[in-house]
Chain A
Amino acid sequence: MTQAKKSTLPSGITEAEAIDRAKRGDAGSFEILYGLHKRRVYSLCLRMTGNTAEAEDLTQEAFLQLYRKIATFRGESAFSTWLHRMAVNVVLMRLRKKGLPEVSLEETLEPQQEDGPKKDFGAPDYALVGSIDRVNLGRAIESLPPGYRIIFVLHDIEGYEHNEIAEMLGCSIGNSKSQLHKARMKLRDLLKTSRAEKAIKR
């Protein structure tokens, strides 16, 4: 596993040095670490909650937890990985407190999906490959139901494995895979609809 970055930052110190100084309570180094990682943490919180105020609150909480525990960081894993995992836990704890469905674990497929693939008679159904722009993908992700969105963000964006997600969310690996599949299917529908609407407007 990689350790804290060794390249020198614009401030003139490396990330590893900033971490060391932050452990000793240096405010400037805290700010450097915040500046380095705020976007990724905030994006994670925003994608998982879909709410900017909530995401800012969670970002603040994640960094506060980081600073409280920074003395325990030993460098066995990458600092960003450690921080990221902390942020995910902060978000999930908040979701549990609110009682929001982290995952719609018992949600069943909609009837038409259970019957097999939709077949568009008459109109060709072109594959999505090569036609997704990331702005539309981002929008589509935002419009996913919360349970689907969380799994999709954790697996496909943040790179967690199903066994890790299952442990985090208290579900089975099979459920994690099933929910991810539903999330991707939903996104596929949203992106195809969006593409079709754009084609009509031309």
Chain B
Amino acid sequence: MTCAEFQKVLPYIIETGGSADQEKHLRECHVCSDLVQDLRYIAEQAKLLVPMEEPSPQVWVGIRASLEREGLVQKPARARGGLLGPQGALLWVTAAAAVVLVIVGITLYQRGPEPPAAAQRAAARPSDNSATDDDPQDKQVLTQVAQARPEMKDVYERNLKQVNASIKDSRKALASDPSDEDARTGLLHAYEQKAMVYDMATRSLR
């Protein structure tokens, strides 16, 4: 039996085994035995491939919206313990924003030529980009609103864009002149407004 003859039937015998002649060729031919070994090894490794990829959060948003439209789900009940589920997540986000606000508020009003390092770090959170694309907290809020109150998503997105723009402008002003009291006040007010937006979003889910 030649290698060509063996390999012609290989697709049909690789899993079940071949005739006596075919098996003999496999034992005696290192080219074909290496080939079979490689092909079986590829198949074995493929079985071990773990699903690594994850769909974007938008997939669940779309599923959820369709399920509600089709009447396949009821409105969600309040999450157990108040700290789990969509409302719970927003409570954490709002609490985190409030903590950031307190840190910024306390440090901003400390007199000094430059904002303390803590204030700079705190001011770095949340993102000051005018779009909400880079702020995971903003994204989380908007995702939750989109799920529960899709008609309000645009409103909250606009509000967050405006307040983020204010934060960005105030930070820019402070960076160029750390003693600018108006910029400090503006920044504090902007964070207050952002916390209010989060708070309103939380209330709208109830």
The contact sample of 23 A-B pairs, CB cut-off 8 A, is A25-B72, A27-B74, A27-B75, A31-B64, A42-B59, A43-B53, A44-B51, A56-B55, A59-B55, A63-B63, A64-B67, A67-B63, A67-B67, A67-B72, A117-B31, A119-B31, A127-B34, A128-B38, A157-B46, A157-B47, A178-B12, A184-B39, A184-B43
Q: Which of B41, B49, B54, B80 lies in contact with A42, CB distance below 8 A?
A: B54
Interface of B (DSSP majority class) = helix
Give the shortest distance, in Å, between B45 (CB) and chain A (any CB): 5
Set of chain B residues within 8 Å of A134, measured between Cβ atoms: 45, 48-50
Inter-subunit contact A28/B76 (CB<8 Å): yes
Interfacial residues of chain A within 135-158, with CB under 8 A of chain B in the complex: 137-138, 141, 152, 156-157
Asked if A75 CB lies within 8 Å of chain B CBs, one says no
Asked if A177 CB lies within 8 Å of chain B CBs, one says yes
Inter-subunit contact B63/A125 (CB<8 Å): no
Give the shortest distance, in Å, between B42 (CB) and chain A (any CB): 5
Set of chain B residues within 8 Å of A125, measured between Cβ atoms: 34
Set of chain B residues within 8 Å of A184, measured between Cβ atoms: 39, 42-43
**Inter-chain pairs besides A56-B55, A68-B72, 8 sampled, C-beta below 8 Å:** A27-B73, A39-B52, A42-B55, A114-B4, A129-B37, A137-B45, A178-B12, A180-B11
Interface of A (DSSP majority class) = helix
Inter-subunit contact B54/A152 (CB<8 Å): no
Give the shortest distance, in Å, between A181 (CB) and chain B (any CB): 3
9 tightest A-B contacts by CB? A181-B11, A43-B51, A116-B4, A156-B46, A27-B73, A39-B51, A42-B55, A128-B38, A27-B76
Q: What count of chain B residues pass the 8 Å CB interface test?
A: 49
Asked if A18 CB lies within 8 Å of chain B CBs, one says no
Asked if A165 CB lies within 8 Å of chain B CBs, one says no
Q: Which residues in B have some Cβ–Cβ distance to A below 8 Å? A: 2-4, 7, 10-12, 14, 31-32, 34-35, 37-39, 41-43, 45-56, 58-60, 62-64, 66-68, 70, 72-77, 79-80, 85
Closest A residue by C-beta to B29: A117
A132 to B47, CA, bound (A): 13
Set of chain B residues within 8 Å of A182, measured between Cβ atoms: 11
Set of chain B residues within 8 Å of A28, measured between Cβ atoms: 76-77, 79, 85
